[in-house]
């Protein structure tokens, strides 16, 4: 069962891995379904939108407009193959660095109701900057899906990351094969939210997904790092 994302089954690269589709369906239960009321009618900014799969899902959930920001043009090009639906036209993918795009839209006095930070928060170094910009864009809801350090310290673990993987970060320095990213701790993320006047709630994955955890092992991992979803709202 691949749920909403079943339409990807015959599209590359998804046609090579059924588990990927199942994982997307499970993540949909965490990233879209719990926030359906806030997404409906909202103007949404989808950061690091990849091929627009989540922008497409957000539009399907009733968003009035979805702007997806992605720096890799070859990923944006995949969106053309997505099915033509009544909601596809509400999605616009923009090729740009996410920070540059957010700053440009702030300068243009634009506002967004919801900002989706799906899978990019642990591929950057400027976490507080991202949240600060999201706050300035007027977001009532910021949804983060990320890896987090579970140690009881407000910290960011710095790691090296290869840039040739389309799921990883990019580098602004030409010819570099690796860049540096930071994985924030749960406590550090809570500190950032508090400083910006945001209430933070961690989702209960077990309650939402039940016993069906296929393809979602990282969300239930024990140890010093785990994948988690949280919602930040204006107080």
Calculate mean pLDDT across residues 13-27: 89
**72 phi and psi, to 5 degrees?**
-95, 110
Q: Compute the distance between CA of residue 137 and CA of residue 97 in angstroms, rounded to an integer.
A: 16
Please tell me the distance from the alpha carbon of residue 220 to that of residue 225, in angstroms, as a whole number.
10
Describe the crossing of helices 18-31 and 53-60 by its angle, rounded to 10 degrees: 50
Share of the chain above pLDDT 70, in %: 95
Check the CA dihedral 158-162-168-172 and report its sign.
positive
| pLDDT, tens digit, 9 for 90 and up, residues 127-162 | 999 999 999 999 999 999 999 999 999 999 998 888
32: pLDDT strictly greater than 60 = yes
Name the nearest CA neighbour of 146 among 226, 89, 29: 226
Instruction: With cut-offs at 50, 70 and 90, classify the pLDDT of residue 174.
Output: low
Q: Is the pLDDT of residue 99 over 70?
A: yes
Which pLDDT score, from 0 to 100, does residue 200 have? 98
- Give me the phi and psi of 206, to 5 degrees please: -65, -40
Show me where the domains of the chain are located.
3-234
CATH architecture of 3-234: 3-Layer(aba) Sandwich (3.40)
Strands 198-202 and 225-234: antiparallel
Whether the full predicted model's pTM is greater than 0.75, yes or no, is yes
Phi-psi region of 198 (alpha: psi -120 to 50; beta: other; left: phi over 0): beta
Radius of gyration, CA atoms only, the chain: 17
């Amino acid at each position: 069962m691949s749920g909403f994302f079943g339409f990807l089954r015959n599209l590359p690269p998804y046609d090579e891995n059924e588990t990927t589709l199942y994982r997307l369906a499970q993540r949909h239960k965490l990233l879209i379904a719990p926030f359906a009321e806030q997404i409906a009618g909202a103007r949404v900014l989808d950061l690091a939108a990849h091929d627009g799969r989540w922008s497409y899902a957000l539009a399907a959930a009733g968003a009035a407009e979805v702007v997806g920001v992605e720096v890799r043009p070859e990923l944006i090009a995949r969106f053309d193959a997505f099915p033509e639906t009544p909601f596809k036209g509400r999605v616009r993918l923009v090729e740009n660095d996410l920070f540059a795009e957010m700053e440009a839209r702030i300068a243009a006095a634009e506002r967004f109701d919801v900002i989706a930070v799906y899978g990019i928060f642990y591929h950057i170094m400027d976490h507080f900057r991202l949240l600060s910009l999201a706050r300035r864009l007027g977001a009532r809801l910021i949804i983060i899906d990320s890896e987090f350090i579970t140690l009881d310290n407000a910290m960011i673990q710095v790691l090296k990351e290869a840039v040739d993987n389309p799921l990883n970060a990019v580098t602004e320095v030409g010819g570099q094969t690796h860049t540096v990213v930071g994985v924030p701790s749960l406590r550090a993320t809570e500190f950032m939210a508090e400083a910006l006047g945001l209430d933070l709630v961690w989702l209960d994955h077990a309650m939402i997904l039940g016993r069906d955890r296929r393809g979602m092992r990282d969300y239930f991992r024990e140890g010093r790092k785990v994948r988690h979803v949280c919602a930040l709202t204006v107080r």
